[in-house]
Structure 1
Amino acid sequence: MTLMDWLLTEAPQTRRQAHVSYIARNLKGFLSHAYVLFGLAVIVPIACLSLAAPFFAPYDPFAQNLHERLLSPSGAHLFGTDHLGRDIFSRALYGGRITMAIVIAAAASIVPIGLAIGIVAGLRGGLIEVILVRVTDIFMSFPQLVLALALAAALGAGAVNAVVAIALTAWPPFARLARAETKRIKDADFVAARKLQGASTLRIALQDILPLVFPTILTRLTGDLAGMILTAASLGFLGLGAQPPMAEWGAMVADGRDFLMEQWWVATLPGALIFLVSFAINLFGDGIGEVMDPKQS
């Protein structure tokens, strides 16, 4: 019997053992789910290559060579070269770092905002809940991409402003989900028992509500990451993301749109990376949702 099988079959005697068993059960489900495995098989290599771009990039991503402009893909240049003679493969590796950094920073901002607003609204109720719900509804009444473009244009071009624009437009669904889960959990018997023991509202929120709401928010986040990548690429395509000479996938697609009919690789290959990563993340998120769905257990 393996350690994983023992963790799944041994009856937990303490809260820590129950947590370990829960993690082991979900981990086994992740590692046996086809969508999760496919997503990891695509995302992990691209992420590792991008993070280690200085070691794997065959050329300087910023070096221009007009004598080698618009070369087709070959052994010397795997993805060809762009209109300035820069190696597209090297720029794609460095561009992945920028795109992933924008998405990760935005996701790290969205989750705390959504959790804080949702849990406070669900626990406090009354006028505070009404105000927070109405603010959330106002943000959700605008298409997320359009609102992100407007905010990025108002704040100014740049990677940092792109993160702010994405974070300020993507938190409402997380707040609504956290509020719904909080309102469901706060009426449970164990929460009432904690109140009788004298636990404060803050302690209940942090120790009882948050650990139960967070997995649901995390599952939703994995499904929304693909949309954040597309939003980041859209900002870069319109010149509102990372600025030249920095490489970014959306900006690389914009650089190649004038050559799309004859030198298709300049725009198509960075666009293919955006599609592939978004597709893999969608499948990964679907797999995570199915594994962690209580109805599937």
Structure 2
Amino acid sequence: MNASFASALTASHEAAASQHYPQGALYVVATPIGNLADITLRALHVLQLADTIACEDTRHTQSLLRAYGIDRSPQQLLALHQHNEAEAAQSALARLRAGQRIAYVSDAGTPAISDPGARLVAAVRAEGLPVVPLPGASSVTTALSVAGIVNDDVTGFVFAGFLPAKSSERSAAVQSLAGEPRAVVLLEAPHRIEPLAAALAALGDRPLTIGRELTKQFEEIATVKAAEFSAWLTAEANRTRGEFVLVLHPAPVADGTGDTEGLRILRLLLAELPLKTAVKLAADISGSSRNTLYDAALALKQLSKT
């Protein structure tokens, strides 16, 4: 056990033990995305209380538990990941029917968002058994909280997660983001970050907040233009290492109707009409700048060829 967490275990019992934790319930537990101190007191208490801990990777979770001073035998850990989730969910259901408390954790962050867990939750709810959320760390909300997005015209955000690995499909996905008026949250692994940066360059001056290794020792946060992301990555050798969370800011609004509406219309027209005709009609319909739409059309056409 990391000695610094000994008092945290005591505090978790004092803070959370008086609450009700029904048997035969699934507890969806958020765990830190990097910094071990980001665990919640209620999560520590439930991880001690649970009869079974279902987890994405048993070895990773065992190491996490030991860091907090929580001992679990291998028999109390149930592997449940993207390759066996449907089958493992049936094993979890049997344990729940027997009255066990099961805590589910992914490798990091809040389960069932990008990580496994959604099929398990759906199966448990379909059986009429209780599912209890324990909120905590999430790479999505962590990145959004430091992006500094202020937009009085459009609220909310889109969670796109990992874009397709194939170049053509990734390019098509990025093209679809060009007309998205809301902020978009993307996730990416280090070995695929450079191709993604190259694809995002087609979005030009669209602001992009980069979160690399969030909450960890070498955390780095920066906001650049989408077209400058590749240059930012290559400016320092270590920048292609670590996990990435990206926030693509909302497309800027240039006039009363907004370029975002013009871009949406432009994308539809480009699929059927020549570029200049599509630009003219999109500008006439939306009131957006023809020059702005023309530049966007060129970028979209180029992106579709990559």
TM-score (norm 2): 0.21
- Flag the structure with more relative contact order, 1 or 2, with Cα contacts below 8 A and sequence separation at least 6: 1
More helix by share: 1
More strand by share: 2
